[in-house]
A and B are shown apart, each in its own frame.
Chain A
Amino acid sequence: MPAARLFSNLHPSQRRAQRSGARTLIGRAGRAPLCALFLVPALALGLSACSSFGTSVEAAGNDLKPAAQRKAAPDFTLEDSRGEKVKLSSYRGKVVVLDFWATWCGPCKIEIPWFMEFERELKPRGLVVLGVSMDDNGWSVVRPYIEQQKINYRILLGNDQVAGLYGGVDAMPTTFLIDRSGRIAAMHEGLVSKDEFKNQIVQLLDARADLRAPFAGVPAFFTAGGAR
């Protein structure tokens, strides 16, 4: 779990959640791999067709890391699908969902409609969704996918350097929730429930920004023209 290292000083409940959620699920899936595959649709529909699977998802918890313990999100600049440079720190003052994904990643595709809904509903309250594609083939595969799925949030083309800042991102989806002060409030490796995402995002939107908090590597920036 490389990305987990970035989030190493987790709140105790979140540490429990990571242990029981991410790792336990893999272990359980190991005993019934095909069963687990069939359960992906059930998870997407918010059902718990298999009680152990449902329990594990719940165990992932709804806790955000306490504000005082959050680390600054590493800053980066990447190009979006329209060729515009996007700097993470330009979203200071917004809550950012930073999702590392790929067109070949099935669980990522389950989350994309949720993120589209969040972008639509919660943008007026200060939410920004940024998808960072880790496709090796670049825009030749990512742009058609954006158009096909009518993705309404900003997609950036990632690279190993940026992934490295966030722990390597060997597994996808890996999603970071960044508070209005530019600090990482939660990290999810692998698919989690839509409700959990939404609960955490709403908590972050409701919280006040600590504008004194530094962004990693840059002077404090406030929301500027870069934000859509």
Chain B
Amino acid sequence: MLLLPACLLFSPLAAQDSVPGGALTVAPVARFHARRGQTVDVKLSAKVAPGYHVNSDAPDDPYLIPLRLTWDKPVLEPAATRFPAPQRVKVAFSDKPVAIFSGAFDIVVTFRAPANVADMGVMSGKLRYQACNDRECLQPKVVPIRLSFDATN
């Protein structure tokens, strides 16, 4: 009889995401084609949940967590990553406007295909973001990115 309340009292409560599916999602990318020795642009279409925003890739305030795209053991060389121009908004907690993304936006990644790249492959990456709304901020999260490609000369 005494054990049940004690268990309830001490059992940690499981964490749940405040926004089911995450505050930022990235649409699946169709298989793309790369030519060996040349570059190819790949567009990632991101969407921020209504009411939320994420910090841009360069949020100005050093304490804010930027949007970051990284690749794990890339078989194609990531040559450049282009984020859109952020929205700059004035907020109460910062002297400077804060650079954010909200709604839908695209990130364009330029890959260079090495001369010896295999005929097909997969690029795995992570898009790390930190989202807030007007009342609260969510813990930083990561969206896994997976890109499949074919390569020819």
Given the contacts A41-B92, A110-B92, A164-B13, A33 and B102 also touching, CB distance less than 8 Å:
yes
A163 to B51, CA, bound (A): 25
Given the contacts A33-B53, A37-B89, A141-B63, A71 and B9 also touching, CB distance less than 8 Å:
yes
With most chain A CB atoms within 10 A of its CB, the pick from B51, B87, B98 is B51
Q: How many A-B residue pairs have CB under 8 A?
A: 146
- Smallest distance from the beta carbon of B12 to chain A beta carbons, Å? 4
Which A residues touch B87, using CB under 8 A?
34
Residues facing A in B115-153 (CB within 8 A) are 130, 132-140
A27 to B135, CA, bound (A): 12
Let me know if A2 and B92 touch, CB within 8 A.
Answer: no
Let me know if B137 and A172 touch, CB within 8 A.
Answer: yes
A72 to B53, CA, bound (A): 35
Q: Mark A135-147, 1 if CB is under 8 A from B, else 0.
A: 0100001000100
- Smallest distance from the beta carbon of B89 to chain A beta carbons, Å? 5
Let me know if B10 and A217 touch, CB within 8 A.
Answer: yes
Which B residues touch A39, using CB under 8 A?
134
Count B interface residues, CB 8 Å.
38
Q: Mark A158-170, 1 if CB is under 8 A from B, else 0.
A: 0001011111111
Find B93's partner among A5, A6, A33, A110 (CB 8 Å cutoff).
Answer: A110
A133 to B77, CA, bound (A): 38
A189 to B16, CA, bound (A): 14
B14 at the interface (CB under 8 A from A): yes
Which A residue sits closest to B12, measured CB to CB?
A164
Q: Mark A105-120, 1 if CB is under 8 A from B, else 0.
A: 1111110000000000
Q: Mark A39-57, 1 if CB is under 8 A from B, else 0.
A: 1110111000000010000
Query: Which B positions have Cβ atoms within 8 angstroms of A?
Result: 9-10, 12-18, 49-53, 63-65, 87, 89-94, 98, 100, 102-103, 130, 132-140
16 contacts between A and B (CB under 8 A): A3-B13, A5-B13, A29-B52, A30-B50, A40-B93, A41-B92, A105-B137, A106-B64, A106-B92, A106-B94, A106-B137, A107-B135, A164-B12, A167-B13, A169-B15, A170-B16
